[in-house]
Amino acid sequence: MANANRTRPIQIIVRVSEYEREIIRKRMELANTKNLSYFLRKTATDGVILNMDYSNIKNICAELGRIGTNINQIAKRVNSTSNIYDADIAEIKKNQKEIWVLINAMGEKII
């Protein structure tokens, strides 16, 4: 009967660990609030949820690995022949362009 007159009659019970409770307490301090119910409601309803997609970063890392291998091969050839070829320079420039395309695509997704 007492719940009939409440503006928030639905109760949600959440169990947390000691560690999680300490994090909540510290965040409450940062938010300058002492009311746990208010803090949890506000965080759950108005909080920002970040769902990060790291696939672009993985692609960049893989591409950097391939480019590093290519550069090492070019460096070995230059060291053994003492000649650098136009094709080698073109390959390095092509690889640099690919990196910039990946980085720019990643930047567009962040914004």
| Per-residue pLDDT tens digits for 54-89 | 777 787 788 888 888 888 888 888 889 888 888 888
CA dist 106 → 50, 57, 73 (Å): 16, 8, 28
pLDDT at 1 over 70: no
Token couple for 8: 């928030």
Considering the chain, what percentage of its residues have pLDDT values greater than 70? 92
pLDDT, mean over the chain: 85
Domain parsing of the chain, residue ranges: 8-46, 55-110
Q: Give the DSSP letter string of 21-69.
A: HHHHHHHHHHTT---HHHHHHHHHHH--------HHHHHHHHHHHHHHH
d(CA 88, CA 72): 11
Residue 2 pLDDT class (50, 70, 90 cuts): low
C-alpha to C-alpha distance for 22 and 78, rounded to whole angstroms: 59
